[in-house]
Amino acid sequence: MEERLKTGTTTVGIVCKDGIILAADMRATAGNMIVDKKAEKVHIITDDFALTIAGGVSDAQLLIKLIRAELKLKEVRTYKRPTAKEAANLLGGLLYSNIRRMSMLPGIVHFLFAGKDVYGLHLYDLFPDGSVTKVRDFISSGSGSVFAYGVLETQYHPDITTNEAIELAVKAVNTALQRDSASGNGIDIVVINNKEIKQVMHKELTYKL
């Protein structure tokens, strides 16, 4: 059987009463080798939308370029900004087309997609098969997600604020970093609220002998 390089990561999305948090670690791997210690896994793609990536890097990079172009094109054609649901479904369509073109599975991407529109704030789980699921509390993806979920399940509550959720995201990702060798090196966090999308943390972890 053909051996394939496996990728790993830990990403987290948290719905708060005053915003949405997206977080991810900063390690990129190929099999047992760490190929990048400063990988960018949380991307702000427009003034309204941001996403996290878990999976094949080349596919993720291409799909991010495509969704940026599609969203801009839709805005030009309709003379209005796309809603979060429209944007998530556009990306879901790209994922569906991407995986259906593959005779094998060399590259698969799992996105957590968040954004703001006239209807409020939204978080979606976009699975590699193109399915789009609305998330109403929290979500995690990647090889470290099983560890992150343990923290999120016990400490999340519906009235959580963005400041509290930042601390929770740090705990969740840090827990995964301790147990998942494919996750590590640091954490990126982006906050989405009704006014803006901004990066609030870009913290590298250093290891001393």
15-43 tens-digit pLDDT: 999 999 999 988 766 666 566 667 789 99
**Is 70's pLDDT higher than 70?**
yes
- Give the range with max mean pLDDT: 98-102, 123-127, 178-182: 123-127
Convert the chain into a string of H (helix), E (strand) and C (coil): CCCCCCCCCCEEEEEECCEEEEEEECCEEECCEEEECCCCCEEECCCCEEEEEEECHHHHHHHHHHHHHHHHHHHHHHCCCCCHHHHHHHHHHHHHHHHHCCCCCCCCEEEEEEEEECCEEEEEEECCCCCEEECCCEEEECCCHHHHHHHHHHHCCCCCCHHHHHHHHHHHHHHHHHHCCCCCCEEEEEEECCCCEEEEEEEECCCCC
Q: Is residue 205 part of a domain?
A: no
Residue 137 is assigned to a structural domain of this protein: yes
Residues catalogued as catalytic: 9
Asked if residue 48 belongs to a domain, the reply is yes
CATH label of the domain that carries residue 125: 3.60.20.10
In a domain, 64, yes or no: yes
**Distance between CA atoms of 184 and 55, rounded to whole angstroms?**
15
Q: Is residue 208 part of a domain?
A: no
Residue 200 included in any domain: no
Task: Say what the pLDDT of residue 209 is.
Answer: 33
More confident residue, 6 or 110: 110
Instruction: Give the structural domain span for 51.
Output: 11-193
Q: Is the pLDDT of residue 65 over 60?
A: yes
Task: State the chain's mean pLDDT as an integer.
Answer: 86
> Does the structure show a pLDDT above 60 at 3?
no
Give the number of domains in the chain: 1
Please check whether residue 86 lies inside any domain of the structure.
Answer: yes
Residue 158 lies in a domain: yes
Q: Mean of the pLDDT values across residues 57-76?
A: 92
Q: Which amino acid is at 207?
A: Y
Q: Mean pLDDT, to the nearest integer, of 141-145?
A: 88
Q: What is the pLDDT of residue 180?
A: 65
For residue 45, what are its two tokens?
Answer: 């793609």
